[in-house]
Chain A
Amino acid sequence: MAEDHTHDHPHDHSQFQPDLEDKPLTHYQAMTEAVGELLIEKGVISGDELRAMLELIDAKSPAAGAKMVARAWVDSAFKARMMDDVLAAAEELGIDAGGIPILAVENTPEVHNVIVCTLCSCYPRQLIGLPPDWYKARSYRSRTVCEPRKVLAEFGTVIPDDVEVRVHDSTADLRYMVIPQRPAGSEGLDEAALADLVTRDCMIGVTLAKAVG
């Protein structure tokens, strides 16, 4: 679109992607901005420290969790330690899982686990990165507890009737991650190849690990 185009033609500019600034800040957005600015103004933190922290948070990815799951698949003793203490098990692999306790729940032929936080959007960010928008949406948070099988089906995951669907609502001080079942046909794969089968969504429990091949 040319800079000098005139507005004597009837098109609606609202059809374009709005900028973030087009909407007024919500109360909490304004509070967050204000606290951030105050901390910098008073010299508690520097702007660069704030930026670096955001960069660190954004850099977290599901790769850390995937690495742990792949190790758990090939090493049952490691899996036992992970089920007992995720943070310590992460440290064994050189992964910083942060200070918030995380509990791993394991899928089996009898039980399919899925994670939700109905109250807000608690999520094991250190191991699987930032939560997807749908995880934070009211729709996922409310429907996963009352009609989990329908929600899973919308993700393409149909759980047989004779398998228990176990929903974990992380309402309190812990975070949860799912250890998916190891896919059939993955026997010959090394740990790195196995980790490639472990997606963010299967560690939330809305899908299974990727099929081999």
Chain B
Amino acid sequence: MSARFDIGARVSVRASFPPGHVRTPFFIRGKTGVVTEILGPYRNPEELAYGRSGEPAMPLYRVSFHTADLWQDYDGGTKDSTVVDVYENWLDEAAGEARGETS
């Protein structure tokens, strides 16, 4: 299994709203962040939840977001960040320019 994204890659979380057991929180869907860690292969929880194998395993990433990018009117400062574990099937390469993400 090779990871599609490297550490430092800018990624967008799919703005998708499928039914069922999904472990990608709503507040990051459609948002852009940076891969800070590749945690290794994990089986797909959206399949495991229904008694299926979840194979093949896929990379799980830690993705860091500017908290101010996630919430309108966030008043905690621009340095603040939110790190979420996201499975590869939820990530796309982000378009556009980088804007000083935290690492």
Contact = CB atoms under 8 A, between A and B. Distances in A.
Contact of B77 (A161, A171, A172): A161
Contacts of A172: 23, 42, 45, 60, 85-87
B17 interface: no
A174 B39 contact: yes
Contact of A171 (B81, B85, B102): B85
B81 A167 contact: yes
Interface stretch (A31-39, A131-139, A140-148, A184-192): A140-148
Interface in A99-120: 101, 118-119
Contact of A169 (B42, B60, B79, B84): B84
Interface in B20-69: 23-25, 27, 39, 42, 45, 60, 67
B80 interface: yes
B27 A145 contact: yes
B82 A169 contact: yes
A41 interface: no
B83 A168 contact: yes
Interface in A149-208: 149, 161-174
Contacts of B39: 101, 173-174
Contacts of B67: 145, 148, 165, 167
Nearest to A172: B85
A170 B60 CA distance: 12
Contact of B82 (A119, A163, A167): A167
Interface in B60-103: 60, 67, 70-71, 74, 76-77, 79-87, 102
Given A166-B81, A166-B102, A168-B84, 10 more contacts: A162-B79, A163-B79, A168-B83, A169-B82, A171-B84, A172-B23, A172-B85, A172-B86, A174-B39, A174-B85
Interface of A: 101, 118-119, 145-149, 161-174
14 contacts: A149-B80, A163-B79, A164-B102, A165-B79, A166-B82, A167-B67, A167-B82, A168-B84, A171-B23, A172-B60, A172-B85, A172-B87, A173-B39, A173-B45
